[in-house]
Structure formats: C-alpha cells, structure tokens
Structure 1
Amino acid sequence: MTSLRGNSAIPLDASVDALSDVLDFIHLQGETLTSVRMADGGVISHGSGERSIHVVQQGPVDLEVAGDGTRPLAAGDLALLATGAGHRLGSAGGGEWMTGTFLVEESTAAPLLAVLPPVIVIRGSETRFARLPLCTDLLAAELADPSAGSRVMVSRLLELLFILALRAWSVLDTAPQPGWLPAALDRALGPVLTAVHRRPEQDWSVEDLAALASMSRAAFAARFVRLVGEPPGRYLARLRLARAAELLQSSSEPVGSIGKAVGYSSEAAFSRAFAREYGAAPREWRAKGQRA
C-alpha cells in the first residue's frame, strides 16, 4: 500500500490564490492557434481589442505595437499582448511564429488587465523559466499533428502560457505599474489578496490584513498602496462591487441578497455604493445585461 505521507497537493477546489481567482473571474479562455510563415517583407496586422500571444519559431521578426514602438524578436521569444493593443508582425527574412488568441469577459477583464503593459516580451535566451519552452513545444506539436481532444488541449495550453508569461514578467519587471497583479505575486501581499478574494464579504480591518502579511499596520498599508495603487479599504470595496456586478448578470438572486453576499448590511447602502462605482443602480445594471 502506497503511503501519501510527506507528499504535497494543491487542493484545486478550495485553496484559491488571488491570480487564479482573477483569471477565473475574467473567464480567460484560449481561443485559436495559428501558424505563420512569412515571406520576406510580409506584415500581418492585429486590430485593437484582440488579446493575443506570439511565439517566434524562426527569426528575425519585428513586432510593432501601436503607441509603444518596435521590438525585434528572435527564435524562442514570446510576446503577450494581454491588453488588446493593436500591433503588427513582420519579417525581412522569412520569419515563422505561432499566434494564439484569448477570449475574456470584457466587462470584468478590461479594468483588471489594464494594469499590464501593452506588450510583455520574454526572451528565449532567459534560462530561468524552464516551463515556458515546455509549453510552447507542446503547442507546436499539437498544431503540427492535431488529434482527438486537440481543441481543448490547445485552449488549456494557451491559458497555461498566459499564466507562465505573467509569472516571468513579474520576475523581470523591476518597476511594475501599481495594480492587483504585482500584489498577487508579492510574497507578503499575495496571502492577503488570496484571503480577500476568497471571502470579500468578511468585515476585514487593516489590522486583520496586516496580520496575514505578517507586517505592522503602517508598513502593510504603505506596501499595499505602493504595489496596488490604492488603500486596502478602497480595493476591497471595488472587489465587492465587481463580484456583485457579476452576480447581477449571472444569477437571479434579489438585489438585497447579492448585497449581503458581498458584505453590505443593507440593500440601500449596497445600491448607493454600486451606483457610485458603475453609474447605474443594481437593477438597471441587471436589466442592461439582460438586453445585451
């Protein structure tokens, strides 16, 4: 009989980390994967709003991002355009690459992914991210020889590649823009975001959150503002309202019940806060979603 003592496990149904929670919340889904072989001097344009990733298999390839300049890419390089910035890829020397695209729930994804730069480039020469080439090799193999289950497999591999690229960027970017992602990947604040994303309805105090981070109240508050860009109370309020907005669209629960589910003591207080954040009362918001 095999003993499980000493083995480690990730309880996928219970232990939600903040990054996983956000990616679930925006309904990230790999959509398409295509292979491109570019004749000398050819260019392919991608319009604004397309969230995509490119993996260079043979260079040189030039990536031009609207408003963000041109970057040369070589074999093994990866470029993630999570914000949907318009861009073009071209090659003066017969470049080859794979392009993957993603679907998200735009109403919730846009403000969350806006903390990312227009393009994240991970160089193939980087040796610290061994899982990236494993993932891209699997994608290339599946694209070259598709079989039963390929559609689902490619979709999952694209999602994995998205996450791996974010992890790599968090290591490489020494001065990220403030937002939820730097905090989710921070050793001290990661557990805090995990806790509030798991239980946004709880009556969290700054002292409670500081204890989760194993920091003093003042040091925690300063670190939170520096990494997230806003105080803990404001972040928690926006998180609660974002959850409420999703519940209003995805369930038929009464407005008052949804307000209580995200931490508001009364329907009136919830409705006022929701209207300030979204410019419409909860019932109006729900009605707009049903008409869309």
Structure 2
Amino acid sequence: MADSTDDGRDRLARVLYMLRMRSTFCCQTEVRQPWSMQMPSIADSVSFHVVTSGSMWLKLPDAEAVELRAGDLALVPHGLGHDLLGSSDSPRGPRVDQLEQEYLTPQYSRLRYGGEGRATQLICGIVSFDDPASRELMRALPAFLHIDADTMSAASPVRDLLRLIAGELTAPQAGGGAVATRLADVLVIHAIRAWLSDGQAEVQGWLRALQDPRIGRVLEAIHDDPGRDWDLQRMAKVAAMSRSSFSARFTELAGTTPVGYLTRWRMSIAHSRLLAEDVPVAKLAGELGYGSEAAFTRAFGRIVGRTPGQVRRTAVA
C-alpha cells in the first residue's frame, strides 16, 4: 500500500496535470541602459520574465530588488504589479502597456525601449488561468518565484523550454510567435513543478492541505463531486475524524472553513462554466448542490462580486 506521502504527491500531480490556461501574451523585449518600466497589476494572472541576454532587476512593492541574469526565469503570481529596472537604483519608469510596441498578433508583440547603452533581451509574458484548481494553486504560491539558471540541471525541462522559446523569438520563423506563446503555457507549469520539487519551497495553504493525508482526501472528494449534499458531518467522515477535529485541522491548513472552501470551489466552477458555456443558471445551481436559483445567485454574488448575468455578458463582450 502507498504511504500517505505518496497519496499527497499523487493528488498534487493530478492537479498540475489538469491546469488549464485561459490566455497567454508574450512580448519579445530589448531594452538599453538607462531604462525602467512598470508592469501593471492584472487580476487572476501570472507574469513571467525570461532573461535571454544581459541582466536586469525586478522589484515588487515593499521589497528589495532582485537581480536576474541570462537564463534566469522569474514568476510573479497573484497579478501583482511590479517594476523591471536596468539597475537596482533606477527610478520608476512608464507602464509597459503605454509604450509603443509592434503587435504581430493579439498575443505577441515586440518592444524596443530605453537609451543607447548596454542591451538586455527579455521574453516577458502574462498567463491567465481559468479552472478552479488553477485558481487555488495560484493563491497558494508565494509572491515571487525565481528559478536561477545556475541551479538548473542540464536535463531540466525548464532549461529546455527556455531554449526553445528563445530560439523561436530570436530566429523568427513562420508562426514563431504562436509557438512561443504555447511554449510559455508549458513553461509556467514546469516552473511551478520545479518550485514544488525544491526541498526549500515553503508549501502552505491549499497546497499543504491537498497533501495532508486526511484533509487531502476531503478536498479530492469535493473536487470529484462538488454538487453532492456536503455538510460538516459528511466531510469529517471522509477524513475519518471527529467534526471538531476535522474543522479545526481543515481551517488551519486551508485558511478557510470546510463550508467556506466548498462554496468557493463551487462558485469557481460556476464562473468558469458561465464564461465557456451557455448553461442556464437554474441548471448550474442544481448541478452544484443548490436547491434554488436564488440561493445560488446570492452565494455567487457574495464570492465572485458580480451576478451570473454580469459574468456571462463579459464572456459575450
């Protein structure tokens, strides 16, 4: 029989396998000293930056700037705005979306910016996720992930993907931008895997709960059947714990109550389906365990901040 650690890894592996991107944008960038620019905050997204030659600094709000060198990869989850700088003491620059760019496709652009000094070449991008597991995973990631080129093994999938992306963008061929954006999807997933496999990674929140032998079983059961008539007693039975012990343990690990998590998971499913399908709200409510459309709509508005109709109109717009 596999031990509980193996079970937790299997659950995590299944989540990583199911990650789905909603959209990707890539920008091939060349900047010359002196330069600096701001990356705006974009909700429900992960920014990534690959330095293909030269070096730069990345600064998050209220944090020290971090130097990135050729071959390094940085991820900024949570849609956080941040600064890209030519040097650690560079003043803040303009927002990147306000700079003139050459848009080759809606998902791919080229940017040349800065003075006449030393050049740095970057591949910058934004990835958005659309499935519930992806959203939960993004919440559990730290504010900044830095994968240093010097620490990557020669056989690292991240290293291979970085080479492929750089090759597509620095030696343009037909469809190179499309290939690069698809590779960027895979790059972000492999970068997260690399972080999770690092013994120094501080796994917490949802990720820690998912790998817990008892709480992880409950999370997986909810994910497999979100419309079931779940209550605290039924969840505790799956965990083979008393209700009080289960509730305390779940809240400690996941950062929310069991019922709070169930509601958030259901509303995340609903949000994704409203964007992707023309499903009636009453049908969606029934499938997700709500006795009435009104009760579902109230819960949806409380969690998402908009009505189902408003979300659906966003998808059509």
What range is the shorter-chain TM-score in? 0.7 to 0.9
The structural deviation recorded for 1:291 is 7.9
The structural deviation recorded for 1:182 is 4.6
Query: 2:142 aligns to what?
Result: 117
Query: 1:100 aligns to what?
Result: 124
Query: 1:67 aligns to what?
Result: 62
Secondary structure of the residue that 1:273 maps to in structure 2? helix
The structural deviation recorded for 1:115 is 4.2
Matched, 1:210 2:210: no
Identity %: 32
CA contact (8 A) 1:170 1:182 kept: no
> What do the CA deviations read for 1:4-24 (whole angstroms, capped 9, x no partner)?
xxxxxxxxxxxx933454x42
Q: For the structure 1 residues 170 and 221, does the alpha-carbon distance in structure 2 shift closer, same or farther, using more than 3 Å as the test?
A: farther
> What do the CA deviations read for 1:25-65 (whole angstroms, capped 9, x no partner)?
xx4333214142x4343324323338421122344422122
Query: 1:43 aligns to what?
Result: 36
Q: For the structure 1 residues 245 and 144, does the alpha-carbon distance in structure 2 shift closer, same or farther, using more than 3 Å as the test?
A: closer
In the aligned structure 1, how far is the partner of 2:298 from the partner of 2:71?
51
Question: What 5-or-longer segments of structure 1 have no aligned partner?
Answer: 1-15
Matched, 1:28 2:61: no
CA contact (8 A) 2:32 2:120 kept: no
Q: Which has the higher contact order (CA 8 A, sep 6+)?
A: 2
CA contact (8 A) 1:57 1:98 kept: yes
CA contact (8 A) 2:52 2:123 kept: no
Matches within 5 A, 1:252-271: 252-271=278-297
> What do the CA deviations read for 1:111-147 (whole angstroms, capped 9, x no partner)?
8745433322122222468111111011111112233
The structural deviation recorded for 1:267 is 3.0
Q: For the structure 1 residues 133 and 193, does the alpha-carbon distance in structure 2 shift closer, same or farther, using more than 3 Å as the test?
A: farther
Query: 1:175 aligns to what?
Result: 202
> What do the CA deviations read for 1:201-246 (whole angstroms, capped 9, x no partner)?
23343245426xxx88777655543332113332111111222233
The structural deviation recorded for 1:192 is 5.0
Moved more, 196-205 or 215-224: 215-224
Q: For the structure 1 residues 187 and 122, does the alpha-carbon distance in structure 2 shift closer, same or farther, using more than 3 Å as the test?
A: farther
Matches within 5 A, 1:119-158: 119-127=144-152, 130-158=156-184
In the aligned structure 2, how far is the partner of 1:281 from the partner of 1:42?
43
Matched, 1:18 2:20: no
Secondary structure of the residue that 1:239 maps to in structure 2? helix
The structural deviation recorded for 1:199 is 2.8
CA contact (8 A) 2:47 2:75 kept: yes
Secondary structure of the residue that 2:85 maps to in structure 1? strand
Question: What 5-or-longer segments of structure 2 have no aligned partner?
Answer: 1-12, 88-116
Matches within 5 A, 1:85-96: 85-91=80-86, 94=118, 96=120
In the aligned structure 1, how far is the partner of 2:146 from the partner of 2:218?
29
Matched, 1:244 2:237: no
Q: For the structure 1 residues 251 and 139, does the alpha-carbon distance in structure 2 shift closer, same or farther, using more than 3 Å as the test?
A: closer
Secondary structure of the residue that 2:229 maps to in structure 1? coil
Give the letter for the 1:99 counterpart.
Answer: I
Give the letter for the 2:285 counterpart.
Answer: G
CA contact (8 A) 2:22 2:130 kept: no
Instruction: State the TM-score, normalizing by the size of structure 2.
Output: 0.67
Secondary structure of the residue that 1:69 maps to in structure 2? coil
Q: For the structure 1 residues 217 and 130, does the alpha-carbon distance in structure 2 shift closer, same or farther, using more than 3 Å as the test?
A: farther
CA contact (8 A) 1:201 1:262 kept: yes
> What do the CA deviations read for 1:152-185 (whole angstroms, capped 9, x no partner)?
321221011111222233344543452x34545x
CA contact (8 A) 1:56 1:77 kept: yes
Moved more, 135-144 or 196-205: 196-205
Give the letter for the 1:210 counterpart.
Answer: A
CA contact (8 A) 2:52 2:166 kept: no
Give the letter for the 1:104 counterpart.
Answer: S
Matched, 1:77 2:72: yes
Q: For the structure 1 residues 77 and 105, does the alpha-carbon distance in structure 2 shift closer, same or farther, using more than 3 Å as the test?
A: closer
Aligned residue-pair number: 267
Instruction: State the TM-score, normalizing by the size of structure 1.
Output: 0.72
